[in-house]
Chains A and B, each alone.
Chain A
Amino acid sequence: MFEFLDHTADIAVRIRAASGAEFFEEAARAFLALLLDLDSSSAEPRRELPLHLEAEDAESLLVDFLNELIFLFDTQRMVVSEIVVEDARLESPASLRATLRGETFDASRHTARTAVKAATFHGLEVRRTSEGVEAVVVFDL
């Protein structure tokens, strides 16, 4: 699950998941909720793209993953509606292998909420909890 938290200038999201795979699925859902007004639009899995990321630790991997979603929207107008995780490793060195599914942004069907500049390292810590994994990530809007 995810929930938005307030931050003076921008927005933070708390992501909680039972596993590494679910953690990235939730992160993608949170990003979609930031990008689109989901009350009036939805994104469909019409095209897919493989993704493989490696990073020195879980924090960097999460930031890289979210920034990849921002990059895909900025350069290809791709709105990722879901991801299928094949393998997610949060221990250093961290890695993610997944398939991104989504479609091209279409202003006639999609209502954009806001452009997102970046996911930041601000106070970021990916923590193991008794229920699984948890992190609070701040987006620069």
Chain B
Amino acid sequence: MLVDGIVFADDVLMAQIREDKCLDQVANVACLPGIVGPSIGMPDIHWGYGFPIGGVAAFDLDEGVISPGGVGYDINCGVRLLSTNLSIDDVRDRVPDLVRGLFRNIPSGVGEGRKDLKLDHEGAVRMAERGARWAIEKGFGSSEDIGLIEEGGCLEGGDFDLVSDRAYERCRSQVGTIGSGNHFVEVGYVDQVLEPHLASRLGLLPGGLTVIIHTGSRGFGHQICEDYLRALQRAATKYRIHLPDRQLCCAPFRSEEGRSYLAAMKCGANFAFANRQVITHFVRETFEHVLGLSPRDHGVSVVYDVCHNIAKVETHIVDGQPRKVCIHRKGATRAFPAGHPEVPEAYRDVGQPVLVPGDMGRYSYVLVGSPNSPDFAFASCCHGAGRRLGRKAATKATRDRNILQELKDRGITIAAASRATVDEEFPEAYKDVAEVVEVVRKAGLAIPVARLRPVGGIKG
């Protein structure tokens, strides 16, 4: 190990964390060349491929590396939160209709995208290089949305020429789809306001209806990751980088291979921004059709959109000095404090919103970046609850249960493409996100602002 590994956790979470091999993975990341600061694990850390999920690592631009394993297959998997003008009390009876409408309107599971959204080559290039801006140019949303997305919904410097034909084939019919696994669109409401002033600045009022979108770059991002894992395995041999695990493959940040991966990864990230933007439009359409409300009346607005699988060049304080680093966040979000120039203007004095979904049955949290976050955390925060049970164990635990009915009895309507997914994603498969957020609060990584409770959702 070239540097320390630091994991944020309390005794309860640490006992769970020790059950899989994610701590070995924190140690493996600490062995990669040019790592700056510690190899970090967030409190929702669990076993990933190469890098752990819930891992953060920064690398020097001259001596360090960039790794597709530090980003993950689902490039720019992320979360978008929408607020509305509606209160849960106004629409509680209509939630089942709303969920059915969302399920009809937003392709999920293994389904293809809507026929009117099939991309030709030129469209794919524009989408991959412009991200959410492409979606808005196509009429999916308004320009006001752009300022409320991390990086303005577009990572500059994406180069479609560095993306394979196979990746292009996989992106053509997948814009505007949520996919399966842990991805979802969830309807909920603000059930607890923890910081009233901050919450109201984010447009989150008690009882206010909200929508969370969790998805990423679909097959397009997966193919980019797959292609570059292979290319960077060769690069690691070429540059004589010792790899404790093949999934940790990497190339020097400034090498041709490293630069190519970054430019291709940006295309994947932009697809994900476009995807969440198009889905936002589908959500607005659904509110209009199902509830018969005008856009002014439902007021579905973007609160924020965060990436949680990404590599970026950012400036951070290292050894008391500002320094540019290539930071990898895999299953971790950025969390800039108030005053940081990269926080959108609307929230500059509040801090960057951090979106931490929990499980289908309990709650999710909205936080903002904290000025008290230690420098060595590189302004990062957790991204979710983290799984407690593997998928096989979850399937076994739910064999004699009807999870959809149990959730319905708790006032949560779920529509899903696959019963298997619902069972694998049942609430107890996850840690209690409140415990994860409590560690975040105590460590000063971010400030909890509001808690959201689900009333319905669609799953893949």
Contact = CB atoms under 8 A, between A and B. Distances in A.
A118 B420 contact: no
Contact of A9 (B109, B111, B387): B387
Contacts of A9: 46-48, 53, 387, 390-391
Contact of A113 (B47, B72, B420): B420
A118 B225 contact: yes
B109 A115 contact: yes
A6 B391 contact: yes
A99 interface: no
Contacts of A121: 49, 229, 233, 245-247
B34 interface: no
B245 A73 contact: no
B179 interface: yes
A8 B109 contact: no
Contact of A141 (B50, B112, B180): B180
A115 B392 CA distance: 16
A56 B48 CA distance: 25
Contacts of A120: 49, 73, 247
Contacts of A59: 246
B125 to A, nearest CB: 18
B313 interface: no
B223 interface: yes
Contacts of A123: 245
Contacts of A105: 110
A25 B46 CA distance: 32
Interface in B292-344: none
A117 interface: yes
Given A6-B392, A117-B74, A141-B180, A111 B418 contact: yes
Interface in B378-430: 387, 390-393, 417-421, 424
A124 interface: yes
Interface string A115-132: 101101111100000000
B219 interface: yes
Interface in A1-16: 4-11
Contacts of B421: 113-114
A140 B110 contact: no
B120 to A, nearest CB: 15
Contacts, number: 108
B392 A141 contact: no
B226 interface: yes
Contacts of A4: 392
B162 to A, nearest CB: 19
B261 to A, nearest CB: 16
A60 interface: yes
A67 B169 CA distance: 14
Contacts of A5: 392
B166 interface: yes
Contacts of B226: 67, 118
A113 B418 contact: yes
Interface residues of B, number: 46
A124 B46 CA distance: 19
Interface string A66-82: 01001101110100000
Given A114-B460, A115-B179, A6 B166 contact: no
Nearest to B169: A75
A60 B387 CA distance: 29
Given A10-B391, A114-B418, A115-B110, A138 B181 contact: no
Contacts of B225: 118
B47 A140 contact: no
A60 B48 contact: no
Contacts of A112: 109-110, 180, 417-418
Interface in B211-240: 219, 222-223, 225-226, 229-230, 233
Interface in B174-196: 174, 179-181
A51 B172 CA distance: 23
Contact of A140 (B46, B49, B170, B230): B49
B256 interface: no
A37 interface: yes
B417 to A, nearest CB: 7
B137 interface: no
B20 interface: yes
Interface string A8-44: 1111000000000000000000000001010000000
13 contacts: A6-B391, A6-B393, A7-B47, A9-B48, A71-B166, A74-B174, A74-B219, A114-B180, A118-B222, A123-B245, A124-B246, A141-B180, A141-B391
Interface of A: 4-11, 35, 37, 59-60, 67, 70-71, 73-75, 77, 105, 107, 111-115, 117-118, 120-124, 138, 140-141
Interface of B: 20, 22, 46-50, 53, 72-74, 109-112, 166, 169-170, 172, 174, 179-181, 219, 222-223, 225-226, 229-230, 233, 245-247, 387, 390-393, 417-421, 424, 460
